[in-house]
């Protein structure tokens, strides 16, 4: 309990205000115990790393982990700590002490009472000061039952646990800027969802899959998928059921590679835009359904993590009656258009091509779906089919058609977001940046206007190369030679197609 007493004193000190050269946020976490759901995800890993490295006075970080794919929680926990995201800590002199602060707890947000044992629940309720709830399914094509269970019901279960915490100072719920994708202007407020969460949860518990699909189609309305709809309901649950605890909602837009921390360009998955950028760089994507004149709203993962960490402090120290919502977005503050993102991706991919290059990079954004489908068959399906035949003939395992299908599905589910644009109001983020000290602005930057998109995309492309493809800089010369070869093959293919076209015209 000594740690909790120390934490309260430091919180009081922070609320009183200190010099601009003092880290109030850092002081807030001295002696604090933190509970994280979704800690094995992309955002969760970066959050844990940043807390350990930049808040050295933190007491303990409890992570909720469930068994998965035949691996128990200890195995998954060990894999988590081996992730390259922790390399800065791993190679420091204080690594053992810092890693000892991270403790895994067996549980699952899809289970009753999070699947916690009585002992673990008692530990959390007596020790935890700050909760970060980032566990969710981010699949756009998830079934309604699964999406509701993980995103909406799971949030309600976390709130129920928070109510039992004796020393809770702040809970931060990680939502999405697209939780209200049915609106074009998004204020920093909680909107009424398309369906009553209690009713929908009850339907998911009792209805057959067929009947539930009918209810889901009726409820979804203008929401593009079950993800945005169930995240909207989760926000409503937070607003309605967490009114007696200090809580905040952070809404990130499209979360992308790190801007600065832990490493420039760090990313560890190929979801969404990352996968599209990777395949643009490898030359396998030639056509994308997208309105290139619209803004693409991306937010680097480290800026999101800094927003989560500082918003917990903000929620505890600057209390208010209503739930404070932070739209963690870039579109209105530091706009970037799709055509700029695509052009920068191709430019930097050509400068440092990967040894996994499949063809000479080149693509087009299109809004005409019929033309896109034709290009998809000619430039995506046919090459993948031919390459798989070559792989079979050489004794290798065919895989290109599977890659094609995976990215086709990813592109289809993302089309809605590439053909629409939203205006996100970010007043609370601006206020947060004003309220922190200059020391905290340096340690936990949340100002997205500081990001220079050209250098960021360059680091992003290199990050995909290094962290996803595991392709070190030493292979760049080989990649350039391969690029040169594909360039001439590409030109020959264009000449051949032109020759065939002219021959057909002459025959007519």
Backbone angles phi, psi at 299, to 5 degrees: -135, 120
Report the candidate in 216, 229, 217 with the shortest Cα–Cα distance to residue 176. 229
Dihedrals φ, ψ of 279, to 5°? -75, -30
Which CA distances in Å does 184 have to 21, 199, 223, 423? 40, 27, 12, 6
Residue positions counted in the chain: 508
Q: pLDDT-derived band of residue 259, with 50, 70 and 90 as boundaries?
A: very high
pLDDT band for position 406 (cuts 50, 70, 90): confident
Q: Helix axis angle, 209-220 relative to 226-241, nearest 10°?
A: 80
Residue 9 has pLDDT above 60, yes or no: no
The pLDDT tens digits for 470-494 are 999 999 999 999 999 988 988 887 7
Name the nearest CA neighbour of 130 among 46, 48, 196, 67. Answer: 48
Beta-carbon contacts of 238 under 8 Å, excluding residues fewer than 6 positions away, are 155, 159, 173, 190, 247, 249, 323
The dihedral through the CA atoms of 499, 504, 506, 507 has a sign that is: positive
Phi/psi at 129 (nearest 5 deg)? -110, -35
Q: CB within 8 A of 213, min separation 6: which ones? A: 144
Q: Does the pLDDT of residue 6 top 70, yes or no?
A: no
CB count in 10 Å sphere of residue 146: 15
Average pLDDT of the residues of the chain: 90
Q: Which residues pair with 186 in a beta bridge?
A: 424
CA distance 355 to 17: 53
Encode 257-285 in three state secondary structure: CCCCCCCCCCCCCCCHHHHHHHHHHHCCC
Q: What are phi and psi of 446, to 5 degrees?
A: -120, 0
Residue pair 261/50 in contact (Cβ under 8 Å)? The answer is yes
Q: Would you place residue 507 in the very low, low, confident or very high pLDDT band (cuts 50, 70, 90)?
A: low
The pLDDT value given to residue 17: 47
Q: What is the pLDDT of residue 8?
A: 47
Q: What is the pLDDT of residue 188?
A: 96
Q: In this predicted model, which residue has the larger pLDDT, 501 or 338? A: 338
Instruction: Give the Cα separation of 158 and 109 in Å (integer).
Output: 8
> DSSP for 189-203?
SPPPPSS-HHHHHHH
Rounded Cα–Cα distance for residues 280 and 356 (Å): 12
Tell me the C-alpha distance between 235 and 183, whole Å.
15
Q: Strand locations in 5-123, DSSP E?
A: 33-37, 60-65, 102-106
- CA–CA separation, 336 and 322 (whole Å): 32
Confidence band of 5 (pLDDT split at 50, 70, 90): very low
pLDDT score of 448 more than 60: yes
Nearest Cα to 462, choosing from 297, 358, 344, 338?
Answer: 344
Residue range 351-369, pLDDT digits in tens:
999 999 988 899 999 998 8
Taking the domains of the chain in order of start, what are their residue ranges?
2-269+297-335+422-449, 338-420+464-507
The CATH number given to 2-269+297-335+422-449 is 3.40.50.720
Q: What is the pLDDT of residues 109-129, one digit of tens each?
A: 999 999 999 999 999 999 999
Q: Taking the model in full, what pTM does it have?
A: 0.91
CA distance 282 to 450: 29
What does the block give as tokens for 261?
Answer: 């921390």
Q: Which residue has the higher pLDDT, 436 or 380?
A: 436
Q: Which two tokens stand for residue 402?
A: 């599977």
Residue 68 DSSP label: B
> For residue range 204-227, what is the model confidence (pLDDT) as tens digits?
888 888 888 888 888 888 889 999
Count of CB atoms situated within 10 Å of the CB of 278: 23
Q: Which helix (H) or strand (E) holds 391?
A: helix 382-393
Find out whether 35 and 132 touch, Cβ atoms under 8 Å: yes
Please give the pLDDT value at position 433: 94
pLDDT at 494: 75
Closest listed residue to residue 413, CA positions, set 268, 196, 199, 226: 226
Q: Give the position of tokens 């915490």.
A: 165
Distances (CA, A) of 485 to 161, 283, 443: 59, 13, 46
Q: Which range among 140-149, 165-174, 357-366, 398-407 shows the weakest confidence by mean pLDDT? A: 398-407
Sequence-distant (6+) residues with CB within 8 A of 89 are 49, 52, 53, 95, 98, 99
Chain centroid to CA 262: 15
Is residue 177 predicted with pLDDT exceeding 50?
yes
Rounded to a whole number of angstroms, the CA Rg of the chain reads 24
Looking at residue 19, its pLDDT comes to: 61
């Amino acid at each position: 309990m000594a740690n909790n007493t120390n934490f309260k004193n430091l919180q009081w000190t922070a609320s009183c205000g200190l010099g601009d050269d003092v880290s109030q946020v850092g002081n807030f976490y001295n002696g604090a115990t933190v509970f994280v759901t979704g800690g094995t995800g992309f955002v969760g890993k970066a959050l844990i790393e940043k807390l350990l490295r930049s808040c050295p006075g933190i007491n303990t970080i409890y992570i909720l982990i469930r068994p998965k794919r035949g691996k128990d929680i200890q195995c998954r926990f060990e894999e988590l700590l081996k992730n390259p995201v922790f390399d800065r800590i791993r190679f420091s002199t204080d690594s053992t002490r810092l890693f000892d602060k991270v403790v895994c707890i067996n549980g699952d947000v899809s289970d009753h009472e999070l699947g916690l044992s009585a002992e673990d629940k008692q530990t959390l309720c007596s020790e935890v000061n700050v909760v970060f709830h980032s566990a969710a399914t981010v699949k756009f094509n998830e079934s309604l039952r699964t999406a509701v269970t993980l995103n909406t019901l799971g949030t309600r279960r976390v709130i129920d646990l928070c109510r039992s915490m004796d020393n809770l100072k702040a809970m931060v719920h990680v939502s999405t800027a697209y939780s209200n994708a049915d609106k074009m202007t998004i204020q920093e407020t909680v909107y009424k969802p398309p369906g009553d969460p209690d009713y929908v949860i009850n339907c998911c518990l009792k209805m057959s899959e067929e009947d539930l699909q009918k209810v889901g189609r009726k409820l979804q309305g203008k929401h593009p998928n079950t993800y945005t709809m169930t995240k909207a309901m989760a926000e409503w649950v937070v607003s309605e059921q967490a009114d007696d605890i200090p809580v905040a909602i952070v809404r990130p837009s499209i979360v992308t590679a790190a801007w600065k921390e832990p490493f420039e360009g760090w990313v560890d998955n190929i979801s969404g835009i990352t996968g599209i950028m990777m395949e643009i760089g490898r030359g396998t994507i030639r056509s994308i359904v997208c309105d290139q004149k619209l803004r693409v709203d991306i937010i680097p993962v480290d800026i999101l993590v800094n927003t989560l960490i500082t918003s917990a402090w903000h929620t505890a120290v600057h209390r208010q009656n209503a739930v404070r919502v932070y739209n963690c977005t870039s579109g209105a503050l530091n706009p970037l258009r799709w055509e700029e993102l695509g052009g920068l991706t191709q430019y930097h991919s050509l400068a440092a091509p990967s040894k996994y290059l499949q063809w000479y990079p080149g693509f087009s954004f299109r809004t005409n779906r019929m033309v896109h489908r034709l290009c998809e068959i000619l430039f995506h399906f046919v090459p993948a089919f031919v390459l798989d035949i070559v792989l079979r003939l050489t004794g290798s395992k065919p895989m290109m058609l599977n890659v094609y299908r995976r990215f086709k599905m990813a592109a289809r589910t993302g089309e809605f977001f590439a053909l629409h644009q939203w205006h996100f109001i970010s007043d609370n983020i601006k206020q947060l940046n004003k309220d922190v000290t200059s020391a905290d602005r340096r340690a936990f930057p949340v100002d997205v206007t500081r990001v220079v998109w050209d250098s960021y995309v360059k680091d992003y492309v290199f990050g995909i190369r290094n962290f996803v493809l595991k392709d070190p800089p030493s292979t760049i010369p080989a990649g350039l030679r391969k690029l040169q070869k594909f360039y001439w093959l590409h030109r020959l293919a264009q000449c051949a197609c032109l020759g065939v076209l002219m021959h057909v015209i002459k025959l007519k």
